[in-house]
Amino acid sequence: MTTKVVKGSLWTLVGQVLPMAVSLITTPIVIRLLGAEGWGVMLVVLLIPSFLGFADFGMALASTKFGSEAFATGTRDKEGRIVRTAALIALMSSTPIAAALFLLSGIVVGWFNVPEPFRGEASLALKLAAITFVLTLLCLIFNTPQLARLRMDLNTLVNTGFRVLGAIAIPIVIYFGGGLVGIFIVLFAVSTLTLLGHIFVSGRLLRELFQISIERAAIRPMLKFGSGLVVAGVAAILLTNLDRFILTKVTSVETLAFYSAAATLASMVTLMTGSMIQSLMPAFSQLQGAENREALTALYSRGTRFNLIWLVPAIVSLAIIAKTFFTIWGGEDFGRESPMPFYILLFGLAFNVLAYFPWATIMAAGRSDIFAKLYWIELVPYIALVSWLTWNFGASGAAAAWSIRVIADAAILFWLAKKIGGVSFTDRAIRSFAGAFVVMVPPLAAILYFRELNSAVIIINLICMIAYALIVWKVVLEGDEITWFRNKLNAYFVR
């Protein structure tokens, strides 16, 4: 199972890195064509549907969980019925919400402080985004047969191919006068083609997908599971996006652009772990039960340690290139305004990334209600915190509030995963990282001393990364893990 998860995670990582790499090239072109304010308006229109992520009634995760369990028992007919049932429920719950967003788009863009000259175009773009939103939700359901079989290669090829084409098409459309509306026409086309691709590929893996019956017996447990996600999802969406909403209201869409650039670069540390979640959710779901507890604990512990291994050098490397990157990528304004919120967000994301594993453990156990309770308890103090810090410190305050919350959230999730799932990350494994972590401190000291990225900082970072890799190999990795890596390398080079 570990090998399948690793292989699937690598495919998903490729599927995230490639579109991001293309976007890093095309986004500066888009910023220069639209201007910082126009790009900020585009981000606002993209942000609005993200507040409605609960509209599928939790069927994306429900389909993955229950579909994976059906696949594990070899009941292909049931698996197909579960996917169709999830799609039907999601369509019924999301369409009215999308329709309301479509009809009220003019009013909604006004709530988000969109400048008057952009409101008409932003309203039409939001109408397109509302339709695209429903198609995107269905994509997350019809890829279930791929996820259940851990065929992340197929899932990645479908998602990535169209996303890359869309990223390339957007600056071309803007250049020829498409503006904001042209951007969202491209996104609509990408979602439509992606949905058709998932239906085709999943249908090849599961012929039973192309039937018309639903799994009536699964409706109630799926709705119960989904209801917890909906209650949690409303709070989670606010917790995730409230910083940007308040920042836009308190400052401007231009400040949102600087903040979003910081968040985009900082989110690169989530790529590896985010790619693992698509594999872990079906894997953890298939390992439920007392007879599989040892395998579940081993996968959880090993995955968490692997997260720590790559996370430390990734954070240090991003921290030392940040200011130079923002200046080259977005211009002097971004180089001046984005670094500080970036550093603050990066610190919080380090804890947020580690929390992915306990999150998946709790979710695979079917305890979505836990998140409903936790997120609503967090929401009220977070609203007060983010409002006060943003009002007083702008983008840096919004970043600080978000980071404080996710650090507290991570600590709680690790405790809950141990209590509910019976899994834990040992103190010994944490102590073994102490020496490796200390080795990566000099590059941070160097960038603080020189205040710019230069050859000395780069050389220090490379030397420290080599030393870090040696310590990890000698101290952190366990014997069976070293053997596994050696076998994989030997198999690769023998070919």
pLDDT at 291 > cutoff 90: no
299 close to 283: Cβ distance less than 8 angstroms: yes
Provide the CB-side half-sphere exposure for 61 (13 A, CA).
31
List own/partner pairs for 425-434 with CB under 8 A and 24 or more apart.
425/300, 425/301, 425/304, 425/305, 426/301, 429/301, 429/304, 429/305, 429/308, 429/476, 432/475, 432/476, 433/308, 433/312, 433/476
pTM above 0.95, yes or no: no
Q: How far apart, in whole angstroms, are the C-alpha atoms of residue 329 and residue 260?
A: 13
* Lookup: tokens for 30: 């888009």
Q: How far apart, in whole angstroms, are the C-alpha atoms of residue 94 and residue 116?
A: 29
pLDDT in tens, 294-349: 777 777 777 777 878 888 888 899 899 998 988 888 788 888 889 999 999 999 98
Give residue 160's identity as a one-letter amino acid code.
T
For the chain, the C-alpha Rg in angstroms (whole number) is 23
Q: How far apart, in whole angstroms, are the C-alpha atoms of residue 182 and residue 435?
A: 52
195 close to 139: Cβ distance less than 8 angstroms: yes
pLDDT in tens, 448-468: 888 888 899 999 999 999 998
* Lookup: tokens for 118: 């952009």
Mean pLDDT of 171-178: 90
pLDDT reported for residue 278: 62
* Secondary structure in 3-state letters for 62-73: HHHHHHHHHHHC
| Lowest-pLDDT choice from 390-404, 437-451, 460-474, 479-493 | 479-493
Q: Strand, coil or helix: what is 150? A: coil
pLDDT at 164 > cutoff 80: yes
- Of the candidates 178, 235, 221, 255, the residue with the CA atom closest to the CA atom of residue 78: 221
pLDDT in tens, 95-116: 999 999 999 988 888 877 777 8
DSSP 284-339: HHHT-SGGGHHHHHHHHHHHHHHHHHHHHHHHHHHHHHHHHHHHHHH-HHHHHHSH
Instruction: Out of 16-25, 409-418, 428-437, give the one with best mean pLDDT.
Output: 409-418
404 close to 385: Cβ distance less than 8 angstroms: yes
Which residue do the tokens 């890093």 mark? 24
pLDDT reported for residue 87: 93
Q: How far apart, in whole angstroms, are the C-alpha atoms of residue 108 and residue 102?
A: 10
pLDDT in tens, 383-422: 999 999 999 999 999 999 999 999 999 899 888 888 887 7
Q: Which strand (E) or helix (H) includes residue 109?
A: helix 105-111
Provide the CB-side half-sphere exposure for 154 (13 A, CA).
19
Q: How far apart, in whole angstroms, are the C-alpha atoms of residue 183 and residue 391?
A: 32
pLDDT tier at 290 (50, 70, 90 boundaries)?
Answer: low
pLDDT reported for residue 200: 95
Q: Indicate the average pLDDT of the chain.
A: 83
Which residue do the tokens 């942000």 mark? 47
% of the chain surpassing 70 pLDDT: 88
94 close to 49: Cβ distance less than 8 angstroms: no
Q: How far apart, in whole angstroms, are the C-alpha atoms of residue 255 and residue 36?
A: 9
* Lookup: tokens for 156: 């990645």
403 close to 348: Cβ distance less than 8 angstroms: yes
